[in-house]
Chain A
Amino acid sequence: MPAWLAILCSLAVLLLFGDAVTKMASRGLRLLWYERCALAWLLGTGASTIAWFLLTPLYRWISPIWVVTGIAMALVFLASRRSTRIGAGAVGFAFSSEAIVLTFVLLLQFAVLGLAATWTTLGWDGLFNFELKARLAFEHAPAGQLPGTYFADASRSWSHPRYPLLVPFTEFWIYSWLGRIDQSAVKIVFPLFYVSLAALVCGAVRRVANLQSALVTAIALGCMPVLTLLPGAASGYADVPLAASVAGAACFTYMALRTRDLRYANIATGLLIVAVWTKAEGVILAGAIGLSALGAAGTIDRRRLSALLWIPALALVPWQVAIRLNGAQPTGDFRALTFSGMSNVVDTLILVWPLVIKELMRPGHWGLVWPCFFASALLMVAGRRSTRADWFLAAAVLIPLKVYACMYVFSAWPDVSAHVGFSISRLLVPLAPMATFFVVRQLVDDLGIDTIEWA
């Protein structure tokens, strides 16, 4: 099979799998076409990763390609037999001249990002944290299983053996279809995660404002180098895949709180499962979104909304069991807090907070997103015209921000400021799209932007 056809087939299986999951989770909810495509990609990679991981023992007898493809096709068949259909978006292709220009700029951004990704090599973590595992799974006999000795190998604890496997699986999947390792070919998946991120944020803005605002927001995301270059979509890091699922989950939870339609929360739950399978901090972000949603629920059924918390936690259990059974090594970046270490807590916080604030105000990374976010939050509090859904969005950004800043108290690095400098921009990647959506949501009210409400 030619390489291009093998890559297309590998992507098609993931998309069909994800579309079937989307159909089943959305239960007839109206979705914009680009939201549906983004969900197909994110839920497809997530569902395939979990299916691949759970069925690992079968690979002695049958190739993971056939196992995962078989499950995907079975689910496509089941989803097609269900009577519920995904409703089309209320707004179709009626583009104004401004919207045409903005769409062109957005497509140009995507094209440039795609070229940048394919013309550059995998970044440091992209190669040594994620692609390494894809390669090990591909070269292992039988293919598709990660060697148990890898997890307990203390000489490779730097490669984060405890990180969940969504990105390594997606790369392994492409290798499996290609029949060889090709580090250039796997870079195609990262722009797809970025496009999914832009599509979901664009869709969320489209639901609370107009098409032009949605397109401008998506273009604004592309102007943040941290989202696009390093550690962004061109690098092969897991931060943009995490950002796509987390921002999507926050947007759909926002819609659930705004409209009281809990089918949006079903989709958010699916995206949070993807988040916890993407990177370790997905657990913190999923927890923040779940807790913020429960706090802002008002009269909405909290029991049903609590699925945002417990279903992602339950979905991660098999992975947690596996890393414990295999004695997976911690990376040594963090240490347990001891009584002797308690005396340094205040000193560390005094050291860390200015560094975090400096990063938030760094225009070369984030433009004006963070100053605008904090200004919007202050105006929201002062104006007293916010909804519970708006409070949810603000909390979903602020809780992880505080957790991250406090986490450095446990840093095992001899120089904590070097640890902050090395990692803080990555930790902010999943929060920036949510902060952007919050700012746009507040601007819609403040500037009186035409709102074509249809959600």
Chain B
Amino acid sequence: MKVSPAEITAAVRRAAWPDDAGVSLTIDRDAAGGLNATQLHYALSYLLYPKQIWLDPPPGATRYGIVIGPSVSASHTTIEKVSDAMTLVDLK
């Protein structure tokens, strides 16, 4: 997965998520390259502060999502395509 921090922050800015947005992180292991879920979680939490990034979100904590991988669930609405492997989605 090749995407720069600047590309991610710019896409999130365009998506206009609120500062305190709860964001669930869904990862397709094959698409994550050499990074594991923990690494991606920490890195995105660092980068997108103060948004709350969750790997296992508590019920009702998230309205937005970051999907790493090719498949976006039919229940999600794509908001921004950051790269071939990363998509910002609306969970509603």
Contacts of A156 in B (CB 8 A): 45, 52
Q: Is B42 an interface residue (CB 8 A)?
A: yes
Selected interface stretch from A64-72, A103-111, A147-155, A289-297: A147-155
Assess whether B46 is in contact with A132, with CB atoms less than 8 Å apart: yes
Q: Which of B46, B50, B61 contacts A128 (CB 8 A)?
A: B46
Assess whether A155 is in contact with B46, with CB atoms less than 8 Å apart: no
Q: Is A286 an interface residue (CB 8 A)?
A: no
Assess whether B50 is in contact with A149, with CB atoms less than 8 Å apart: yes
CA distance A388 to B75 in the complex (A): 71
Assess whether B50 is in contact with A147, with CB atoms less than 8 Å apart: yes
Q: Is B53 an interface residue (CB 8 A)?
A: yes
CA distance A159 to B45 in the complex (A): 10
Q: Which of A147, A153, A158 contacts B52 (CB 8 A)?
A: A153
What is the CB-to-nearest-CB distance from B30 to chain A, in angstroms, rounded to a whole number? 23
Contacts of B22 in A (CB 8 A): 155
Contacts of B50 in A (CB 8 A): 147, 149-150, 153
B interface footprint on A154-182 (CB within 8 Å = 1, 0 otherwise): 11101100000000000000000000000
Contacts of A153 in B (CB 8 A): 50, 52
Interface residues of A in 100-128 (CB under 8 A from B): 124, 127-128
What is the CB-to-nearest-CB distance from A183 to chain B, in angstroms, rounded to a whole number? 11
Contacts of B49 in A (CB 8 A): 132, 136
Q: Is B54 an interface residue (CB 8 A)?
A: yes
Which one of A147, A154, A155, A158 has the highest number of Cβ atoms from chain B below 10 Å of its Cβ?
A155
Contacts of A159 in B (CB 8 A): 42, 45
Which chain A residue shows the least CB distance to B61?
Answer: A155
What is the CB-to-nearest-CB distance from A129 to chain B, in angstroms, rounded to a whole number? 10
Assess whether A155 is in contact with B42, with CB atoms less than 8 Å apart: no
Contacts of B54 in A (CB 8 A): 155
Assess whether A127 is in contact with B52, with CB atoms less than 8 Å apart: no
CA distance A153 to B42 in the complex (A): 14
What is the CB-to-nearest-CB distance from B88 to chain A, in angstroms, rounded to a whole number? 17
Which chain B residue shows the least CB distance to A153?
Answer: B52
A interface footprint on B48-67 (CB within 8 Å = 1, 0 otherwise): 01101110001001000000
Contacts of A124 in B (CB 8 A): 42
What is the CB-to-nearest-CB distance from A415 to chain B, in angstroms, rounded to a whole number? 14
Assess whether B45 is in contact with A127, with CB atoms less than 8 Å apart: no
Contacts of A155 in B (CB 8 A): 22, 45, 52-54, 61
Which chain B residue shows the least CB distance to A131?
Answer: B46
Which chain B residue shows the least CB distance to A128?
Answer: B42
Which chain A residue shows the least CB distance to B22?
Answer: A155
Which chain B residue shows the least CB distance to A127?
Answer: B46
CA distance A343 to B24 in the complex (A): 37
Contacts of A158 in B (CB 8 A): 38, 41-42, 45
B interface footprint on A125-148 (CB within 8 Å = 1, 0 otherwise): 001100010001000000000010
Contacts of B46 in A (CB 8 A): 127-128, 132
Interface residues of B in 14-45 (CB under 8 A from A): 22, 38, 41-42, 45
What is the CB-to-nearest-CB distance from B47 to chain A, in angstroms, rounded to a whole number? 10
What is the CB-to-nearest-CB distance from A92 to chain B, in angstroms, rounded to a whole number? 49
What is the CB-to-nearest-CB distance from A413 to chain B, in angstroms, rounded to a whole number? 12
Interface residues of A in 236-259 (CB under 8 A from B): none
Which chain A residue shows the least CB distance to B55?
Answer: A155
Contacts of B42 in A (CB 8 A): 124, 128, 158-159
What is the CB-to-nearest-CB distance from B1 to chain A, in angstroms, rounded to a whole number? 18
CA distance A136 to B49 in the complex (A): 9
CA distance A127 to B42 in the complex (A): 10
Which chain B residue shows the least CB distance to A149?
Answer: B50
CA distance A154 to B53 in the complex (A): 10
Contacts of A149 in B (CB 8 A): 50
Contacts of B52 in A (CB 8 A): 153, 155-156
CA distance A388 to B52 in the complex (A): 53
Which chain B residue shows the least CB distance to A147?
Answer: B50
CA distance A402 to B41 in the complex (A): 34
Which chain B residue shows the least CB distance to A132?
Answer: B46
CA distance A128 to B53 in the complex (A): 14
B interface footprint on A340-373 (CB within 8 Å = 1, 0 otherwise): 0000000000000000000000000000000000
Q: Can you name 17 A-B pairs with beta carbons within 8 Å?
A: A127-B46, A128-B42, A132-B49, A136-B49, A149-B50, A153-B52, A155-B45, A155-B53, A155-B54, A155-B61, A156-B45, A156-B52, A158-B41, A158-B42, A158-B45, A159-B42, A159-B45
> 10 nearest interchain CB pairs?
A155-B52, A128-B42, A155-B54, A132-B46, A156-B45, A155-B53, A128-B46, A158-B42, A153-B52, A155-B45
- Other CB < 8 Å A-B pairs besides A147-B50, A153-B52, A155-B45, 9 of them? A127-B46, A132-B49, A136-B49, A149-B50, A150-B50, A155-B22, A155-B52, A155-B61, A159-B45
Q: Identify the B interface with A (CB < 8 A).
A: 22, 38, 41-42, 45-46, 49-50, 52-54, 58, 61
